[in-house]
Chain A
Amino acid sequence: MFRGRIDTAALLKSVLLLLAGLTSVGVFAQSADNAPKDTYPYPIKDPFTATVITTPEPLRYPLPALDDVPAKLRVVKVLDRKPPDNFWHMRGLSYTFISAGRRAAPLIFVIAGTGAGHDGSSTLTLARAFHKAGMHVITMSSPTYSNFIVSASSNGVPGLPDDDSVDLYRAMKAAYEREKKRIKVSDFYVTGYSLGGMHAAFVGYQDSKQSYFNFKKILMINPPVNLFNSVQILDWLVTEVFPTREDFKVFYQDLMSEITDVYTNNPRLKFNDEFLYALAATYPPGQLEMKGLIGLAFRFSATNMIFSSDMVTRWGYLVPPDADIDRRTRIGIFQRTGNNKSSFTQYFRDYLLPYYSERNPGVTEEQLLFRASLQSIQEYLADAKHIAVIGNLDDIILAPGEVQYLQGLFGPERSTFFPRGGHLGNMPERIFMTNVVEYFQGPVR
């Protein structure tokens, strides 16, 4: 049933990949003569390129095909709240459950990254690896994902990981309660990538207070350290590459004519990897395009998040608070306005912070921004020997000094950093994924 399912990020990525004509061929052709000197076999030197095109097929950790994994789409009611009518098709919080069978096995929760769902491609990549290693798996959507905001976010305003982890913890309990009759669980684990990695740490902190799961091991994969730093970096990508809308229009129209050119001149090509190879061979892409694409993908998911949040709170950030919106309303204008004008940075500054300070008088912007960082729970993290981090030295979402901060906080025992891979580019890669799986299979470090 999971054949060909797509999440927004994957959909966007495929669209944008098509638009940009990115492929490993073009990229490798460019970087073949200055190959890296260390022994890590991941070949892509440029972190932005790595982030977009991820790992070439031959270097990937071998995984079972999606069709061969008994993944079940489940829906659970978490909050007693009716969704706004334009979300009429949502009957609760969706998650994916993969059983390891009747024997006792560890249950691992996987938390998706910014704007991604429980059935997104990165989430299911991790899920398949854990399934292969014999674990029960439950994948959770990111608290920034539309379905989570509408069905499981208590205030409807995602962004502060401490509050979001309370929602996540509740949702994870609801999901486990629904499955526990069917499975025997030996230990509980939790992991997450990108923002989901940060959430995993905060979920661990919640767990230390609520003690429901008593997680045995927690792994953060390519997490941000300070959320505001990371969203600013991602927003700068768009403004750097496309200072005005006219710049983006030119970029888009050039791409469309390149695509049309290649598509019409090769009448047997279909839209797949083969097409991308042909496109990149004709029009080799550069780093600037990669940066623009990453920024754009994040901007699209920011708009999804902001619109969904505003529809729950009716606070009036993007949507007029009194606008009557139902399942037939023309809502494209909110997407266009959001994409053009609103970034994650603005979401923090102009929506989340005022929204919180309205409800908590006396709270300052600095306090809220601090709460959106790992520093706010660093005493807990320093002592929590069951939490570890894995990532890359060239991760594009980390500000200068943040890798060193993570290495210092977790020490060499609990931190692993690869020389290359950008942001999650090497997550499907064999050595990286082996590290991830073996962390959960080995003894507590």
Chain B
Amino acid sequence: MKPIDIEAMTIANVSRHIRSKKLSPVELTNWFLQRIKRLNPVLNAYVTLTEERACADAKAAEKEISRGRYRGPLHGIPVSIKDNLVTKGIRTTAGSKVLAEWVPDHDATVVERLKKAGAIILGKTNMHEWASGGTTINPYYGTTCNPWDLKRVPGGSSGGSAAAVAASLCLASIGTDNAGSVRNPASFCGTVGLKATHGRVSRFGDVPGTGGFSSDHFGILTKSIRDCTTVLKNIAGYDARDPLSSEYPVPNFSRDIGNTLKGLKFGILKGYFEDKVSGEVKTAIDEAARLLHSLGMKKVEFSISHMDLIPAVQTVTSRVENIVHLMPHMKSRPNDFSRPLLKRLIGSLMIPASSYVTAQRVRRIICEEFEKVFENLDVIVTPTTPITAPTIEECQQGFVEVDGRKIALQPVGISLGTTHTVPFNVTGLPAVSLCCGFSSLGMPIGLQIVGGNFEEGRVFQVAHAYEQAAGWFERRPVM
């Protein structure tokens, strides 16, 4: 057998070989399972491995393909699922002790659609307890380590998913993103991380209490933008079981990939948490902006009047919507919550109902302000995170040093790692993170590209052009 290079594999290049029967889904699945067995004890990206089921599904895929029934580019592709998406017959913990033994009797719509497309589910990935933070330091299932530096966190809350993709322990993973929980770990681990427009992807089958209704999204982590379009195409679309899902038609998301960027405009947001962005991240974003300009795009600077209210809107919305679901568990099993989370949740019960309604009214104003901005712009470009991945120790202490200044990782309101992702949870706008360079310590830096509502195609067009021109995606962590 020819030596294989799992690290260089993407859905795009593997699916071609599966389709032409040059690559067997059984072989492919076994390679990934072997790699997981070798590296997961170090990374702790997976909390549950579904080896038997994956092998059976791979065999079934192989049989179908050999009979000429190829379903499409996800047929036979090994993927993973964050542990707060319900999976039929597979333990789903949401990173909590409360659900440590819970085995759901149905699949989330996204999981159903992935199975229908022929994807092979390798297992469930680790996450922050109840998706309530951005480190994936989990008191019950252990800490997931960043494949680029094992002393550092992968981000979160979908930290296991990002680590699994970055370390080539699967070809794609599904996460959830309520404040940046897909894009933050994508940034810290150097992968692609997308949350589409709110409503584009059904959220039926999320574990209640891990994101709320208004600002939570299911998201996708992959190695390349093209792979991300493939996964989105397969999971997007209206779902009657999710009242917030959109009936807006699902287009061919890769239609504009490869088209020139000439004449398009990208916006740079001024005056929002600029002082928190590290020098190295700022330099990388400036460089990315120069590259986009060289590809034919015009740069436009803009500001949003009520930008400063976004952290407060998100805090109220998310904390109130989550506490509604967690209260029964807090009452019946208070000792099965970590103490810091339990105290924070009790604090959430102190937020007045009127603040929640006020936040939803302010949210409308902010959404309208962004809508107006997009009348004159094609995409917005920001850092995904103001810093690169902090160490596990820094996260435990609660502070990180940025250019000689000590900054709190979790101040009142939103955490430092989500300052630039939260605005697009509040507005529901589609946003992707992709690698735009590395720090002096060799840690990935994330670039966030945001589009207008339901304009994922435009986001992919710009992101793919940048990705191919910059070439950072070719760099892999040494495992």
Q: Do A and B bind each other?
A: no
Q: Which residues of A contact B (CB under 8 A)?
A: none
